[in-house]
Amino acid sequence: MNPEVYKFIKKTLIHAQDLSVDERHDYVRKVCQDQPELIQSIMDMLAIEDSPDDNIMEQAPIIQYFPEADVQESRELKAGEKINQYTIIKKIGSGGMGIVYVAKQNYPAERQVALKLITQIPI
């Protein structure tokens, strides 16, 4: 993709995000009349932006501390286990600092989030 096309797509997406879903398609078709091959790609990007579980990291709440989750030995959680308002869906990674899961947040909003449980290190 050349820089001009990239700038055009970015500008179109930014403007289209401010429109209602009904107005978006007309706007994108109008501005892409000279480049009709971009219409579907731009509409697909807008659809991804609107999906409820997109940008999981941008939706992450501020770090929370769960003292009841402290354990001496680190163990993996299974799908369905709960920690406060979070229900574990699956593990997505681990390392020296802890384990990261996809979890369903039940409160204050029902959504998917990334939940990192930090490994307890004795001092």
Mean pLDDT of the chain: 79
Q: How much is the pLDDT for 58?
A: 53
Q: What is the pLDDT of residue 72?
A: 42
Task: For residues 41-46, give the mean pLDDT.
Answer: 86
Burial class of residue 115 in the structure, from the number of CB atoms within 10 Å of its CB (0-12 exposed, 13-18 middle, 19+ buried): buried
> In 1-123, which ranges are E strands?
82-83, 86-94, 98-105, 111-118
- Check whether 55 has a pLDDT greater than 60: no
Q: What percent of the chain has pLDDT over 70?
A: 75
Taking residues 67-91, what's their average pLDDT?
76
Q: Which domains does the chain have, with CATH numbers?
A: 3-50 (no CATH), 67-118 (3.30.200.20)
Please tell me the distance from the alpha carbon of residue 110 to that of residue 3, in angstroms, as a whole number.
Answer: 38
- Can you name the residues that pair with 115 across neighbouring β-strands? 101
